[in-house]
Amino acid sequence: MSYSIIIPVYNEIFTLPRLVKNLRKLNNDIQIILVDDGSDDGSDEILKKHAKRIDIIRNETNLGKGSSIVSGLEFVKNQNIILIDGDLEIEIDCIPKLIVEYEKNNYSTLIGYRWDDKDGINFELNRLGNYIINSLFNLLYFSRIKDALCCVRIIRSDLIKSLNLKSKRFSIEVETLAKLVLFKKKIIQSRVGYNRRTMEQGKKLKMSDGWRIITVMLYYKFLYKI
């Protein structure tokens, strides 16, 4: 089976060199698509140096993570899509293991999770926010998702394109999951290592994004017509 990986990046000048180095370790048959979401910190100059090995797409302005993923879908050449963020909170090294698990489970959609119930509740603000959003998602959709906001996904190209994704920002994760659950698609889950960044280190997700994510969950539960 063939794979394309889509990675949205925005102002990641300090992580890009290591990101590109780790991407080079992947199987050469994997198509790599990096979507520069209007970076203004010099990230685009770094990406230009790697245009031979990597397909580079650039948004002239910052459109958001969801918009960048949707843009990347237009350039996909292969049967399966891998989604992961470019901030290296989750290392690229996990991808080969996840591919093996995905294929072992007959190409059912795979989503990563950074923690689960066994880890307990952490009252650090970011973790608490994730816990609330994840619990609400499972309550609304009668699901058992361990980490609705984890960026790591492997999904068939035709399936993700059929979802007709609309979210422009970080709510892309919950929109994707909501539609997969509503369409009764099988989902498998796999633990991934996680090294959280702080806002000072470049963390992009904000409190306002949390409210937008909750709004999207409610919309697809109560207003979306299948």
DSSP-derived 3-state class of residue 47: helix
Tokens of 130: 């994730």
201 has pLDDT over 80: no
CB atoms inside a 10 Å sphere around CB 160:
23
Across the range 102-107, mean pLDDT stands at: 96
CA atoms within a 13 Å half-sphere pointing along the CA-CB vector of 43: 28
Summarize pLDDT for 73-95 with one digit per residue, the tens: 999 999 999 999 999 999 999 99
Average pLDDT, the chain: 91
118 pLDDT band (50/70/90 cuts)? low
Across the range 185-210, mean pLDDT stands at: 77
Domain membership of residue 43 as a residue range: 3-222
Distance CA 35, CA 215 (A): 26
123 has pLDDT over 70: no
Q: Return the CATH number at 189.
A: 3.90.550.10
Domains in the chain, number: 1
Q: In sequence order, which residues have a C-beta less than 8 Å from that of residue 48 and are 6 or more positions away?
A: 56
Q: What is the pLDDT of residue 126?
A: 74
Across the range 54-71, mean pLDDT stands at: 95
Radius of gyration (Cα) for the chain, nearest Å?
Answer: 17
124 has pLDDT over 80: no
Left if phi > 0, otherwise alpha if psi is -120 to 50, otherwise beta: which for 120? Answer: left
